[in-house]
Structure 1
Amino acid sequence: MSSSSSAPWLSLVGTIWLQTINGANSDFPVYSSQLKDLKSISQVQLNFLAFASDAGKLFGWCSGVAAIFLPLWLVSVIGATFGLIGYGMQFLFLENTHLSYWHLFMLTALAGNGICWINTCCYLICIQNFPSDSHVAVGLSTSYLGLSAKVYTVVADAVFHAQPSHNAKAYLLLNAIVPILVSLLVSPFLRESQTKNKTRSSCGFMVMLAITLATGICAVFGSIRSESREHKLSLGILLTAPLVVPLAVKYKEVIGEIWWNKRERKVHDITVDEDKTGGRVIDCELKEGGAVDGKVEGSMEVGGLQLLRKVDFWLYFFSYMFSASLGLVFLNNLGQIAESRRFSKTSILVSLSSSFGFFGRLVPSFLDYYSTKSGYMVSRPAFMATLMAPMAGAFFLLLNPSRHFLYLSTAIIGGCTGAITSIAVSATSELFGNKHFGVNHNIVVTNIPIGSFVFGYCAALLYQKGAEGSHSCTGAECFEKTFIIWGSTCSLATLLCTVLYARTRKFC
């Protein structure tokens, strides 16, 4: 007898909760300025700390290898343990003079590597348990990663009552303990389901997408307006709401078994061929168009170091680095950008970028759901290229010192960065197949630490030059040259991704 049909949905809820808390590094801009003053470090050193979290991704491929030999729930717990050690040690010894700058760097890199382990677990769970809807499941799950900074700022405000003087300690404590607690909570759900359902799960995904959309709207309204107690409560309820789907599926399954047993008693003298009835579970899911076994038609299986020999890989690698990775560098520098413009409420900008990043990650899931239903899939490179263009424009908009343009550009960059990182998960399997996905995608995301180092370091040097020997720089000119460079680089990314689309496009 096959396992419960609610098990895949329960595993999806588990990945949603994991992704919601897996962006512990995204709250760095909220307390980065305080950390800079507390440890008496320069802007260049501060950018190296932001890079350290991304540097952990250089060894993210280890999680892909580990996932081959270890159960996936253990992979997520190992990742959360890295975060517990990395951020926990910083929390305990932050004000201790023995905790040097390089200790901070190594601990932050360890925590950053832990994020890769949790991501790998979530990706593989979604791909294995929803073979016919893997793009929708992965996109829906990863969309919640864009909500991490929002969740951490809400929890910090609720628990520590928004005391700016304790921001660093408060966020480091939350970054350390929340991921490990959630990982242990959901570990019983993170199993590969024995039910290999290859039909489209229309009912369940429709409800999931509706709940996710409501969560995003709630997050955006909370970012734009002052957050109230009612808003925080609503957000908490919406984050638990996805449980409705596995509970409903389980209820339907139980009712179906009761009906089946009654039917067997009435016709006990008739032999029922279960192979013809499809088993004992009654399921409303209908078979429609879509991928078979999660494989993209026409994709080729390329694994490991073979990627480095492919021109398409390098086009993909650099277009990702010059867009989404660049967007992450911008978000890491939000604290200093806000400070240079005399805007003290950095948490508002972080919440805004997080909320729109959430929507950005969610949009590909909606498109995948409806495009697969119609039998037509949008090319991932083409989708990514259309997102890079407005992102480049947003960097140029930041040259205007108006606070309204700061809000608008932060929302655009946050949304486009979230969307590109979400689409990239599917693009990796579309371009190089699913067989070696765990290792392949972790090789692709090594562009993030490289981009973080290059663009972050250049921005820090220009900022320090504008400061003219003082500790901080004030005025729109502090990041003026940086925004011109970033906008031009993102324009180049649009061109590279367009070339990738032209090379991989399937002509009739």
Structure 2
Amino acid sequence: MANIVVKGGSRPPWVGLAAALWVEIAAGNAYNFPLYSPALKSVMGFNQQQITMLGVANDIGENVGLLPGIACNKFPPWAILSVGVLACFLGYGVLWLAVSQTVNNLPYWLLWLALLIATNSNAWFGTAVLVTNMRNFPLSRGTVSGILKGYAGISAAVYTLVYSLVLEGSASNLLLFLTLAIPILCLAMMYFIRPCTPASGDDSSEHAHFLFTQAAVILLAIYLLVTAIIITVVSLSDAVSYILVAIMVIFLISPLAIPVKMSIFPSGHLVLGEGETTSTDPLLTPSSSAAYLETLYENGDASDVEILLAMGEGAVKKKRRPKRGEDFRMHEALIKADFWLLWVVYFLGIGSGVTVLNNLAQIGVAFGLEDTTILLALFSFCNFAGRIGSGAVSEHFVRSRAIPRTVLMTCAHIIMTVAFILFAFAIDGILYAATALLGICYGILYAVMVPTASELFGLRHFGVIYNCLLLGNPIGALLFSGILAGYIYDAEAARQGSSTCVGPDCFKVTFLALAGCCGLGTVMSIILTVRIWPVYEMLYSGGSYHLPRNLGH
């Protein structure tokens, strides 16, 4: 790993978290595709199949983050964010040139590639802030993950509000906003997102700070939901529109109140000032050979002779594979059954959820709903609630009873199984309730996977492990949504003699197949939970997180 400067003090982690929330909003820019795709279709003269393939590029770019996962262990956060800024500027810049007709007749392959690059900025933004803040708050991983992913979940509502009230519903203005405003925002925030001295958990106000941040994002979500309803039924003046956006901005900057409060009312215990480091007793300092060997292991280039020399000085006894709860490299995690169990559990659940999300408009029409926007708003809000709630709930139970977070994943799979069965048989009045349940479970699966991976496989190489698990999203979308649901829907529509399918049979087979997937996910999640229960009892014995005794760093 590169030699990265760690900032001391108790305030910088909270400043970094507040800045990271803005970057998470920026990292939701892929959610804007439904807003500008109609303009792209009309201006460029694309058919629906071409637009669908652009949607595939949108999903791939958003979720494939192996490169930022590897890079976050070698470069500081500002460098990772800089790559995202460049990708966002170049990708959306090309799309703006096309939609605004500044440049005519751009080839389809160039627009497909530009969209993939543009949305891949999400992976660079999200990985940089998630990995950095998980390391800055190692004792509150579930809470931090829930907050960050909660903000990502409501970013679509933020963009929709800006699009409707400020950008006047113009796709060209939206793409220009994404080309310029998002990079400027991330450039402004990158100074504050940096590795800090990890919070020790001794500060009694830390819990209150997290509660304040969670309350702020919940109020923001409610405000966005209410505002979205208002602007659909009432015509607003420009002045009122700008006031509503200003209130949203106040909610977004409210987490900065925590470091401001810490500056005005500092806690009584001693904290490190800027640039200060802790002193180390020379007797506790490892030998030069031990430190050198650790560096060699990190870089992966220790020779047998160097290892033997270090062993001779007593630095190590032997090079062994890490145990669960310690820091794993990617190739070490790949040979662990727990990694693949977690991947399959995540893939089955998130793939099923994204299938509903991608086809929610068609599902609404099939069930006889004329305006499907309410379904999208309901799913998005419940997705946010699942993300923010699962982080707090899982954190409570791992600390109080050392219960693995994967218990929540099991519950989510069970609920999704029931919801898909109800969907399949088109029970009266089930549309809204089932959509809400699936949104909550989708959020739970996404938010719980993050801290679980960090607890099982450590934080040192968390970026690449997290992004490898995240591949379950695009793979699930391709298999379950693009192939399964799309084929069955088109076949039923052809049988009806129309391009639009109406009736419960449009998705009945798909829902039953997804119910089977979630049932399998339930079994796999139970097996994973039983396997890792002793790990959580070790990590959270005594009610607080601590590293394994034999952890060598």
Taking structure 2 as the reference length, the TM-score comes to 0.75
1:501 corresponds in structure 2 to 529
Output one character per residue of 1:139-176: Cα deviation in whole Å (capped at 9) or x when no partner.
212211110111111111112444xxx5x545544444
Query: Taking structure 1 as reference, are residues 492 and 369 closer, same or farther at Cα in structure 2, changes over 3 Å only?
Result: closer
Q: Which amino acid aligns with 1:187?
A: M
2:317 corresponds in structure 1 to none
In 2, Cα distance between the equivalents of 1:64 and 1:192?
16
Contact 1:396 1:484 in 2 (8 A): yes
Query: Taking structure 1 as reference, are residues 30 and 392 closer, same or farther at Cα in structure 2, changes over 3 Å only?
Result: farther
1:17 corresponds in structure 2 to 22
Give the CA deviation at 1:425: 0.6
Give the CA deviation at 1:36: 5.5
Query: Taking structure 1 as reference, are residues 195 and 402 closer, same or farther at Cα in structure 2, changes over 3 Å only?
Result: closer
Query: Taking structure 1 as reference, are residues 59 and 368 closer, same or farther at Cα in structure 2, changes over 3 Å only?
Result: closer
1:250 matched to 2:267? The reply is: no
Greater mean deviation of Cα atoms: 404-413 or 308-317: 404-413
1:380 matched to 2:412? The reply is: no
1:306 corresponds in structure 2 to 332
Give the CA deviation at 1:428: 0.8
Query: Taking structure 1 as reference, are residues 409 and 313 closer, same or farther at Cα in structure 2, changes over 3 Å only?
Result: same
Contact 2:328 2:458 in 1 (8 A): yes
Q: Which amino acid aligns with 1:237?
A: I
1:147 matched to 2:154? The reply is: yes
Instruction: Give the counterpart of 1:416 among 441, 448, 459.
Output: 441
Give the CA deviation at 1:423: 0.8
Q: Give the secondary-structure state (helix, strand or coil) at the position aligned to 2:534.
A: coil
In 2, Cα distance between the equivalents of 1:173 and 1:345?
29
2:117 corresponds in structure 1 to 110
Instruction: Give the counterpart of 1:85 among 83, 90, 100.
Output: 90
In 2, Cα distance between the equivalents of 1:298 and 1:152?
40
Contact 1:80 1:115 in 2 (8 A): no
Give the CA deviation at 1:245: 0.9
In 1, Cα distance between the equivalents of 2:450 and 2:517?
22
Contact 2:85 2:187 in 1 (8 A): no
Instruction: Give the counterpart of 1:465 among 480, 491, 507.
Output: 491
In 2, Cα distance between the equivalents of 1:398 and 1:226?
31
**Structure 2: which 5+ runs fail to align?**
1-5, 235-240, 274-322, 538-553
* Alignment of structure 1 residues 247-286 onto 2, 5 Å: 247-253=260-266, 278=270
Greater mean deviation of Cα atoms: 299-308 or 17-26: 299-308
Query: Taking structure 1 as reference, are residues 306 and 280 closer, same or farther at Cα in structure 2, changes over 3 Å only?
Result: closer
Q: Give the secondary-structure state (helix, strand or coil) at the position aligned to 2:166.
A: helix
Give the CA deviation at 1:506: 2.0
**Which of 1 and 2 has higher RCO (CA within 8 Å, sep 6+)?**
1
Instruction: Give the counterpart of 2:250 among 237, 259, 265.
Output: 237
Give the CA deviation at 1:308: 2.6
Instruction: Give the counterpart of 2:451 among 426, 448, 458.
Output: 426
Report the count of equivalent residues.
468
In 1, Cα distance between the equivalents of 2:61 and 2:167?
29
2:286 corresponds in structure 1 to none
Q: Which amino acid aligns with 1:10?
A: V
2:189 corresponds in structure 1 to 186
Give the CA deviation at 1:31: 5.1
1:353 matched to 2:345? The reply is: no
In 1, Cα distance between the equivalents of 2:88 and 2:520?
35
In 1, Cα distance between the equivalents of 2:447 and 2:195?
22
Output one character per residue of 1:336-384: Cα deviation in whole Å (capped at 9) or x when no partner.
4445567564544333322221111101232245346x54343122111
Give the CA deviation at 1:304: 1.1
Give the CA deviation at 1:7: 1.3
1:391 corresponds in structure 2 to 416
In 2, Cα distance between the equivalents of 1:430 and 1:195?
16
Q: Which amino acid aligns with 1:66?
A: A
Output one character per residue of 1:395-436: Cα deviation in whole Å (capped at 9) or x when no partner.
333346689543333322222212211111111112222221
Query: Taking structure 1 as reference, are residues 39 and 351 closer, same or farther at Cα in structure 2, changes over 3 Å only?
Result: farther
2:55 corresponds in structure 1 to 50
Greater mean deviation of Cα atoms: 376-385 or 38-47: 38-47
Instruction: Give the counterpart of 1:333 among 359, 365, 373.
Output: 359
Greater mean deviation of Cα atoms: 42-51 or 309-318: 42-51
Instruction: Give the counterpart of 2:518 among 486, 490, 504.
Output: 490
In 2, Cα distance between the equivalents of 1:444 and 1:243?
32
Q: Give the secondary-structure state (helix, strand or coil) at the position aligned to 1:68.
A: coil
Contact 2:139 2:199 in 1 (8 A): no
**Structure 1: which 5+ runs fail to align?**
257-276, 282-296
Q: Give the secondary-structure state (helix, strand or coil) at the position aligned to 1:417.
A: helix
In 1, Cα distance between the equivalents of 2:190 and 2:26?
14
Question: RMSD between aligned alpha carbons?
Answer: 3.3
Give the CA deviation at 1:466: 3.3
1:122 corresponds in structure 2 to 129
Query: Taking structure 1 as reference, are residues 100 and 479 closer, same or farther at Cα in structure 2, changes over 3 Å only?
Result: farther
1:7 matched to 2:33? The reply is: no
Q: Which amino acid aligns with 1:417?
A: Y
Q: Which amino acid aligns with 1:449?
A: P
Instruction: Give the counterpart of 1:363 among 361, 386, 389.
Output: 389
Query: Taking structure 1 as reference, are residues 212 and 78 closer, same or farther at Cα in structure 2, changes over 3 Å only?
Result: same
Query: Taking structure 1 as reference, are residues 395 and 149 closer, same or farther at Cα in structure 2, changes over 3 Å only?
Result: farther
In 1, Cα distance between the equivalents of 2:373 and 2:163?
11
Query: Taking structure 1 as reference, are residues 441 and 478 closer, same or farther at Cα in structure 2, changes over 3 Å only?
Result: same
Give the CA deviation at 1:133: 2.1
Taking structure 1 as the reference length, the TM-score comes to 0.81
Query: Taking structure 1 as reference, are residues 369 and 194 closer, same or farther at Cα in structure 2, changes over 3 Å only?
Result: same
Give the CA deviation at 1:82: 1.4
In 2, Cα distance between the equivalents of 1:408 and 1:174?
36
In 1, Cα distance between the equivalents of 2:432 and 2:337?
37
Percent sequence identity is 27
In 1, Cα distance between the equivalents of 2:439 and 2:178?
21
In 2, Cα distance between the equivalents of 1:239 and 1:226?
20
1:407 matched to 2:432? The reply is: yes
Q: Which amino acid aligns with 2:224?
A: A
1:261 corresponds in structure 2 to none
Contact 2:386 2:443 in 1 (8 A): yes
Contact 1:25 1:112 in 2 (8 A): yes
